[in-house]
Amino acid sequence: MTDDRFTPPKNFAWLEPEYSDYDRARVVVLPVPYDSTASGWVGSREGPAAIIDASGNMELYDIGIDMEPYRLGIHTLPELAVQTAGPEQMVARIEEVVGEQIDAGKFVVTLGGEHTVAVGAARAHAKRTPGLSVLAFDANADMRDEYLDSPYNHACTLRRISEVAPVIQVGLRSAEREEHDYILEQGYRFYQPREYRALGPKALADQLSDSVYLTFDLDAFDSSVMAAVGTPEPGGLHWDEVSDLLDTVARAHRIVGFDVTELTPSLGPRANAQLAAKLTYRLMGLALRE
């Protein structure tokens, strides 16, 4: 029974046990405080804690989608321990843990940490979901085959994911020439924000298969909306257009899992963590809306 003299536990959305106990929860949040391959500005390892902290500052009713996602039950796992032997080992650990949770019937939400954590999460879902496609929000192509001596560097994230499922990216506005050429050669559908605006959410969503894994590097947002990322870029997406796209995708596809990554709290105002929390919460609602 709840004792009103105390605040709720500081899990995602600050939920009392009735809505956060593991057994009753439909959703499991996996915080992964990892940023060991970051090459620029560091600190995304503090992202998951900042999102969870900010999530207590949200109202539990999301007026924008007229839902109360917490009623699904949301259990927050402890933070994943960092594997410091190297990123390959860390990605393997993430894949393993995410896989266990999927197998236990949970809808898994992975909170980064650097975008690399998405490789493990996407692999776990791809292995268990035939015909999966991936919708990636990202400012950067992330299509290098290797970077700073590792194929598991954050700059290789979408390349690694594209090896297990087809990727459609939205928000692109930063790439090396070689990456750009590679994308064109491969015929990948990577949309810059203005291209996306010309295309519209429906036409983009139509390119996805029935089952979709969603990976969200927060730098897809315009840097006025989201400064707290390692590679903030102007000319990006705004809240309403992201929200509309997510809504459109969720209506016609089954979102099987998602991640939200790259929040680096020290690089921007707390409002950025608040936005990341609200995005995560809304995505839970949209993905599991009946």
Report 109-138 residues binding its own copies (CB under 8 A): none
Is 185 a binding residue for its own copies by CB under 8 A? The answer is no
The token pair at 190 is 């990577």
Is 19 a binding residue for its own copies by CB under 8 A? The answer is no
Q: How far is the CB of 131 from its own copies (least distance, A)?
A: 30
Q: Which is nearer to its own copies, 1 or 63 (CB)?
A: 63
CB distance 241 to 32 below 8 Å: no
Is 18 a binding residue for its own copies by CB under 8 A? The answer is no
Query: Distance between alpha carbon 62 and the CA centroid of its chain, in Å?
Result: 19
Q: How far is the CB of 6 from its own copies (least distance, A)?
A: 4
The interface mask with its own copies, positions 194-213, x = CB under 8 A, is: x-------------------
Q: Which is nearer to its own copies, 60 or 164 (CB)?
A: 60
261 forms bridges with which residues in the sheet? 217
Question: In angstroms, rounded to a whole number, what is the distance separating the alpha carbons of residues 280 and 193?
Answer: 21
Phi, psi of 201 (to 5 degrees): -65, -40
Q: Which is nearer to its own copies, 79 or 188 (CB)?
A: 79
Query: Quick check: helix, strand or coil at residue 1?
Result: coil
Question: In angstroms, rounded to a whole number, what is the distance separating the alpha carbons of residues 99 and 113?
Answer: 19
Is 286 a binding residue for its own copies by CB under 8 A? The answer is no
Is 15 a binding residue for its own copies by CB under 8 A? The answer is no
Among 22, 26, 43, 128, binds its own copies (CB under 8 A): 43
Is 248 a binding residue for its own copies by CB under 8 A? The answer is no
Stretch that binds its own copies, among 102-110, 117-125, 163-171, 226-234 (CB under 8 A): 226-234
- Torsion, CA 259, CA 161, CA 262, CA 85, rounded to 10: 110
- DSSP H or E segment with residue 20: helix 17-20
The token pair at 97 is 């843990």
